A and B are shown apart, each in its own frame.
Chain A
């Protein structure tokens, strides 16, 4: 089934169009963020970066940044740990309830997040817990730790169980096997999962909406401003949040690449 050259070109063009479709709204936000006018209309007549200055100086924005950062960091660390063991149970070991476990993990991913947030709010209320950013961490974990598990599971599927068995035959305890064999083999997956966890938590809005109480994360604040009318700070804060994600993604990518080229042939497959 060789594809004709023109079909190939048409398909590539389609790919370029799809990317444009995905990025067009982000480009609009980018333009809006450098418009000088308080009330935005296109085409933009005068450009200015003053809204960025205002955003960075604003103490509200700084608080939002801290809240978002704290939530995302905690979610990342917990997801990495939970996901590491979860992936072993998902992919590596043959145990009695493995099938049910695999399906149960997928359910929260399929769930409407806003409803999940509300359910959590009522659950906290029933327990007598007052929601703060810490309860938002719990909310994010429901959705993000299963995703972390899946990402690490892909790695866990590709490793050879006989490596562990060999170590065990030579007298290594379960703990030593985890530390010396399983851990290092799954490490790239764990790092990738951590990166995903951070970025997904950083950008998440529906789960935070009802679970942060009096605190507010960056996406929540943006949403509140969007529904209540236009604020010239919205595009610039939005772009700052996007830039943070991209910088992190690049840093993560570079680290992964360095680790891979450093390990060279030592990695499996």
Chain B
């Protein structure tokens, strides 16, 4: 049985492995090589110089990196706070209503992200759903809520809500009711139960949820473009500009490599910290 498992396991992994090799690992290699090519070349057949990396530090790209990661951090923190009560309700309290919320949230995932963000533009702009109706009903008015940093963070919170919610639900479902009951019987306050039972026992879900929303928000572009106008330029936007208007593939590649290294390191760190068999509903092995 043992030998058979080894062989079939390896064989079954081949199709997925091929997809990842051809269309994930190979492109990353290409980006890495392009990033050390001289400025503005379009083929890999040049002697490497590291001029793009020098540009990174002299041209103020660090600012975009900081904006991206700063806003990602803010949105992740906000997401954790607003998702926790709902996730708790869905894991422990709601019954049929929980299923209803799950379906409702999943449906939004299938609506193209840019349509939903465009919907927020229509909602928040001057003459939009909120301002327009407010003016018509009360005569009060305000200059739309768009084109600033908070609204970009708001957009990130909106877009990555499900990516925090579902892992949190999984995490909280792993906290045994007995443990909470026992802590309560022994006189623990609500605060203590939260910090010393709920948080540590649901850690795998918290790690995955925070990681997913942080990483996706750090690489996001549509929120800052559609909702934020040109208030801040995020790193993904700089990368796109370097490739398209700038026609400077090596520079774009170097920027991508920086983003990929940070995100990759974080992801690997996080993924290594959780037992995937357990969180996916399998037996401990």
Chain A contacts to B: CB under 8 angstroms: 1, 3, 8, 11-12, 14-15, 18-19, 21-29, 31-32, 40-43, 81-83, 85-86, 88-89, 91-98, 101-116, 118-123, 125-126, 138-139, 141-142, 145-146, 149-150, 153-154, 157-158, 165, 168, 174, 199-200, 202-206, 210, 218-219, 222-223, 226-227, 234-235, 238, 241-242, 245-246, 249
A95-B6, A112-B219 in contact; A141/B19 too (CB < 8 A)? yes
**B228-255 at interface with A (beta carbon < 8 Å):** 236, 239-240, 243, 249, 252-253
A sample of 12 inter-chain contacts (CB < 8 A) reads: A14-B85, A14-B89, A27-B129, A85-B16, A101-B17, A107-B271, A110-B263, A112-B216, A121-B243, A203-B113, A226-B121, A238-B112
Q: In the complex, which residues of chain B have a beta carbon less than 8 angstroms from the beta carbon of A139?
A: 23
How many Å from the CB of B5 to the closest CB on chain A? Answer: 5
Interface string of B97-120 (1 = CB under 8 A from A): 100010011011111111111111
Do B181 and A1 have beta carbons less than 8 Å apart? yes
Check if B264 is an interface residue, CB within 8 A of chain A: yes
Closest to B1 in A: A165
| Contact call B128/A123, Cβ cutoff below 8 A | no
The dominant DSSP class at the A interface is helix
A67–B79 Cα gap in the complex (Å)? Answer: 35
Chain B, 9-30, CB within 8 A of any chain A CB: 9-17, 19-20, 22-24, 26-28, 30
Selected contact of A122 from candidates B86, B211, B221, B253, CB within 8 Å = B253
Q: Interface of chain B, helix or strand or loop or mixed?
A: helix
Contact A204 B112, beta carbon cutoff 8 Å: yes
Knowing A97-B13, A107-B267, A112-B218, say if A82 contacts B117 (CB, 8 Å).
no
B222 touches A205 (CB 8 A): yes
* 10 tightest A-B CB contacts, nearest first: A112-B219, A25-B119, A95-B9, A42-B132, A93-B9, A86-B16, A119-B27, A89-B13, A157-B282, A123-B27
Hey, which bits of chain B sit against chain A, CB under 8 A?
Answer: 1-2, 4-17, 19-20, 22-24, 26-28, 30-31, 34, 42-44, 82, 85-86, 88-90, 93-94, 97, 101, 104-105, 107-123, 127-129, 131-133, 136, 158, 161, 177, 180-181, 184, 211-212, 215-216, 218-222, 225-226, 236, 239-240, 243, 249, 252-253, 256, 259-260, 263-264, 267-268, 271-272, 276-277, 280-283, 285
Neighbouring B residues of A108 by C-beta, 8 Å: 20, 24
New contact pairs (10) apart from A29-B122, A94-B6, A218-B112, CB-CB < 8 Å: A15-B97, A18-B101, A26-B116, A43-B132, A93-B8, A95-B9, A157-B280, A199-B109, A219-B115, A238-B118
Across the interface, which residues of A come within 8 angstroms of B277, CB to CB?
91, 157
